[in-house]
Each structure stands twice: as C-alpha cells, then as structure tokens.
Amino acid sequence: MIWGESDASVHFCEENYNDYVAEIFNTTSSIFYILVGVYFIETPLYRLAYSTIGVGIGSMLLHGTQRKYAQWVDEISMLCLIFFAMRQINKKMKDIYIFPII
C-alpha cells in the first residue's frame, strides 16, 4: 500500500483491495456521516453536525489507510460526538465548557 504497512490496532472484516484504499466499502460508506453532518450544520445541532462530519472524515482515514494516526482521528472524533450528544441530552452539562468558542 502507498500508505505503508497497517499499524492500526483494529481491523475489520474487509480484505485489502488495492494499493490505494485498504477497505473500500467501509471507506466509501463513511461519506454518509459527512452528508448527515452537512444537512444539520445550519440548525441548533451544529455542534453535533460538525462532530458527525469529523467522524466521517476520521472513519474514511482509518478505513482507507489502516494507520495509527488515522485511528486516533477516528476515535477522538467519536469521543467528541459522544460528548456533544450527551451535552445536548443532559441540560445540566450546558455549564461545562470544553472550548471557549464552542
């Protein structure tokens, strides 16, 4: 592969298909996360929308490359999505500010 040897600690059921994309179906299906995020970006749920876009990008990176740095992007974006979803559900968490501009 042009990305180098796979060093991610997670591997899925797809086999490597070619030299450019490690898991073609998981990589291409991640576009739906991005599309859903774009759909909700102009709503009060914009924090969830940006986090969902991040999950799509991270998932595309991980499944496309199977590299450790891409796994970090994927997992951190999922944690951010969970944080903002919990913050949306639990009104008491509104007082927690992780970033001053968010």
pLDDT at 60: 93
- Structure tokens, 3: 């990305």
3-state helix, strand, coil in the chain (%, to 5): 60, 0, 40
pLDDT digits (tens, 9 = 90+) for 32-52: 999 999 999 999 889 899 999
More confident residue, 34 or 12: 34
